Structure 1
Amino acid sequence: MTDNPPVGGQPAAPTPQPPVDPPAGSADAPEGPPARLWDRMRDDPQYAPEHLALEAVRRLGPEAEQWADRVRAGQPGISSDALADLAARKFVNLARLSGAVSGAAGLPGAVIDVGVLAWTQARMVLHIAAAYDVDPLHSDRATDLLVLQRVHKVAESARLALGVAAGRERADALFGLGGQRPLGRIMLQLGVRLAQMAGVRAAKRIVAKIVPGAAIVLGTWANSSATRDLAQRSRELYRPRGAALPGPRQP
């Protein structure tokens, strides 16, 4: 997909370049959404969280399942709670690092940062699901992601929005959805939608990239706090009914 042409004779704002994807299955460093997903979200920012949730299940579900199987094989008898705690601690720690992935300033850097954070959180949710033997590849996990990340309040509206996003993916593949809209406006809308999904206010993320030194404070605190809260909600959803839920642990 190509960038929008200059508007009114002025050069268009540069499209942020997402980080290079690490090898599939790597969970030792913050990983951003794949380039194809960035293009899809840029072309359809209104449904960016839905596109991210659909792609996360497709791309990260197998990784989560393989991780759970690998840990269980190496630690026979490990409980589901202990496995979920491993996942939560790993991805809360990665969330702390995600604010420095892009290395870019201003709005483009803020958009990339919240996208990396939302993607990291989606990985965590799917890993916690796998820890409790809930299929991380099932399409219902995309619905779970949108409700857990508070993009939608109830599963019914999340499923409806996912259906719309999936239809727009198919239409984009056939006809293309990219319009002639100012890129700066698109990036702002995309940043707000991804920040909503990641549980971080867009203004904080933008300020963190513009004010020198603020990124360290706001990025570390906001990312880890939002991700820790999401981990607790994920445990509550996937843990078997009637089982006592351990209190939140500090990573």
Structure 2
Amino acid sequence: MTDSTPVDGQTPAPAPRPPAPAPAPGPVDPPPVAGPADPPDVPEAPPARLWDRMREDPQYAPEHLALEAVRRLGPEATRWVARVRAEQPGITADALADLAVRRFVNRARLSGAVSGAAGLPGAVIDVGVLAWTQARMVLHVAAAYGVDPQHADRATDLLVLQKVHKVAETARVALGMAAGRERAGALFGGGSQPALGRVMVRLGVRLAQMAGVRAAKRVFAKVVPGAAIVLGTWANSSATKDLARRSRELYRERGAGAVPPPRRP
């Protein structure tokens, strides 16, 4: 492209540049995305599909909960330990376990207010939330001591630690039965069900057994207005602390030598 010829020997003035357009208004840039964070310190209910499974098969409700906890919560515990170790190099296994226990004992204290429902249905929901919170704590404690929280044996540990079964062998048999019934239910449906009231009673008793002997009183106390508010917080905290102590004793022994010692600066 050639330059235009000047007129009367004069050099043409350069054409004025158009003003730069003002930046168009738009949304404010979002803050940078942080890495994986801890879940909020509030109790979380078991997934809806697990509730359906336990309602259809209340006899094996603790076994169904243990199997689902390892599937869903085991990976979460693994990620949590990896993140905390990356943020706090040199943290000891005992310190990691302390973090987990404090968080989940606090959640257990609040689990009695999750459902907002009165009577037996509310009590069953609350005690199910407590059992789920306790399972989450056990798996986090296992991970803290270097024991794989995603291994199938953790479901057996849950049932023995939570005193559903006295020994591992009977727990394994019951887990096998529950897994078989889960597969059969998926293929053929749940079949005929007894009356809902009877199901809720059986489910509540089995879940309360899993959550702790003291917590079992809540299944009945919540039916009495005002009683569960006082009993619930104390029972949840006490049962969860007892479970934490047993879990730490078990996994500290199993994890001895599995967790590398902290690096010296």
Aligned pairs for 1:21-170 (under 5 A) are 26-170=39-183
Alignment partner, residue 218 of structure 1: 231
Name the SS of the counterpart of 1:102 in structure 2.
Answer: coil
For structure 2, the residue ranges without an aligned partner over 5 or more in a row are: 1-36, 257-265
- Residues 221-244 of structure 1: CA deviation (Å, up to 9, x unaligned): 00000000000000000003697x
CA distance in 2, matches of 1:147, 1:203: 17
Q: CA RMSD in A?
A: 1.7
Instruction: Call closer, same or farther: CA 1:236–1:227 in 2, change over 3 Å.
Output: same
Paired with 2:225 and 2:182, the residues of 1 have a C-alpha distance of 38
Unaligned runs of 5+ in 1: 1-23, 244-251
List per-residue Cα deviations over 1:188-238 (Å, max 9, x = no partner): 000000000000456621343222322221010000000000000000000
Q: Which amino acid aligns with 1:102?
A: S
Q: 1:213 to 1:33 in 2, by over 3 A?
A: same
2:251 is the counterpart of 1:238: yes
Query: 1:122 and 1:49 mapped to 2: Cα distance?
Result: 10
In 2, Cα distance between equivalents of 1:31 and 1:242: 28
> 2 CA distance for matches of 1:163 and 1:236?
26
Give yes or no for contact 2:109–2:234 (8 Å, CA) kept in 1: yes
Distance 1:203 1:140, change over 3 A: closer
User: Normalized against structure 1, the TM-score is what?
Assistant: 0.84
> If you compute each CA radius of gyration, which structure gives the higher value, 1 or 2?
2
How far apart are the structure 2 equivalents of 1:242 and 1:29? 29
Identity of aligned residues (%): 83
The answer (yes or no) to whether the contact 1:44–1:178 under 8 Å persists in 2 is no
User: 1:156 is aligned with what amino acid?
Assistant: E
Question: Aligned AA for 1:38?
Answer: W
Distance 1:175 1:117 in 2: 31
